[in-house]
Structure 1
Amino acid sequence: MNRYVWEMNVMEAFLRTIYDESHIKINEPLRNYAYTKIGGSADVLVFPVNEEQVQQTLQYADLHEIPVTILGNASNVLIRDGGIRGIVMNLTLMNGIERQGNKVIAKGGASLIETSRFALSHTLSGLEFACGIPGTVGGAVYMNAGAYGGEVSDVIDHAVVLTVAGERRILSKDELGLEYRNSAVAKQNLIVLEATFTLRPGVREEMEAKMNELTFLRESKQPLEYPSCGSVFKRPPNLFAGKLIQDAGLQGVRIGGAQVSTKHAGFIVNVGESTSDDYLSVIRLVQQKVKEAFDVELQMEVKVIGEDE
């Protein structure tokens, strides 16, 4: 039983004082917002449009001990079938991007792909690597997202964040503690409102060619025709997770609606109404078999959130 049932009406009534009707949804299926097309319902799902709404929501939740979960594009997230209790905040409406000199300033809910395209339109180089990463800027800072030899830590200057209690902070690159698929944002459960990237003047034709090349590589090698959470596992030192999985004979292995991709073994795809249990069962099987075959422990890159059904 939902332990927040007794206060749902009160919580909903408060949230309706700060959110427009179209920006608040009750008992909303989160699979509609996730790249995996998997996930149970949120008790309350809200779409803030400014920092004040985020702060008010966090402060109310902190006062009443209501859990808050932040979602962007949910591209590297697996949401369990039991859904998420309390308040889920989807930040994708906070998506403004602007230029100041050689800097690009993007809100936390802005698409990382759109941010890289914005930089291209202003002939500012450095974000080309991000042209195919489907997450938001906030999610990219959270996990120090990267691809094809580049990552957020290469170009970020600073970020504006909120604590879970709604306290605003500005963190320098050093304070963000960016490391391979991790950060101080993740460790301290911070919320990214805005990130500033320091770029350099580029040559548009060269930038465009690089982005076209990376897009081709992504589309030709990744199973984009199926829902997935992207690359499931972190890269082991001096190894490649996909190669290990392939060499362990696991490509094409399926449990329920979840399958190790036949196109790229580092991906697990939803090939037919997969549940989160199906997906997690494939993950555990892959980890077990790779450990047995190569004595390598694959660490998950994807974040698993929510409750069992």
Structure 2
Amino acid sequence: MIPLQRVRAAAARAAPHVLRTPMVPVEGALLKLECLQPTGSFKVRGFFAAALALPPESLRRGLLTVSAGNAAQACAYAAKKLGVSCRVVMFDTAPETKVAGVKRWGATPIPMPRDQLFGWIADEGWHNEPESFIHPFADEEVMAGHGGIGLELLDDVPDLRRVVIPVGGGGLVTGIASAIQGMRPEVEIIGVQSDGYPLRAAAQSGRPSARLRGEGGRRGCRGPGLCRFGAADAGADDGGDHQRRQHRPGASGESPQLALGRVIAHGPRLIAAISIQTNNATLGIQKINPTT
């Protein structure tokens, strides 16, 4: 877990550059619309927090990260706004939309074949690069920056009882849980993820796992790699089978869309909302109706 003081400091660094996103009431739950951030995801919070924590000479060298999607765009956006260069290591099979999203903010994609990329990660190849590397989810300043969401939740929802958080590598849930449990330890934290992602299986087995199971993996929802194993397991409540739900494609093969509160989201942004919709009885809330 991240110390509360560190979360507050990281959130304060990021605050001038990110949105304080609204809460939208939807049929018994509240949705925090991080999809309204400048790059469409919460990840800008962590990258601004981490970049601004660097010594000035390290920041001037530019930023480097590894990602095929939201983290790539968040790093590129932060670098552009801070006036430094950015490169992003990506799969050479990354969709053109993802590559274009990185280029849009002036960053340079570094395409690598799958095996080479995972070898680069395993060997910590960023130590041989000139830029300052920011890990997309295992960097503690990134996690602390994401914790700003938790601080906002506590401010905006005085009677907060439960938070349902999507879990990929574990950085988001660790940051939010650190903030909330540091101030209100009685608030329940539930982590949810695609059935194809290994973190819950790793928590159950007591060791890291890269195994992908079932049909739950969709673009942005799966992929072998390093997880914030211990921290995520400590922060999120293991509430039983209601946390294990599959995220399946629609009949057309596209990711499902969910229309809630006049906001349409898709793909991995749906994981928490779908979990609420499919587990409303267990969670003690009304049903959310998805639109595909």
TM range (shorter): under 0.3
By percentage of residues, which structure has more helix?
Answer: 2
TM-score (normalised: structure 1):
0.25
Q: Which has more strand, going by share of residues?
A: 1
Which has the higher Rg, Structure 1 or Structure 2?
Answer: 1
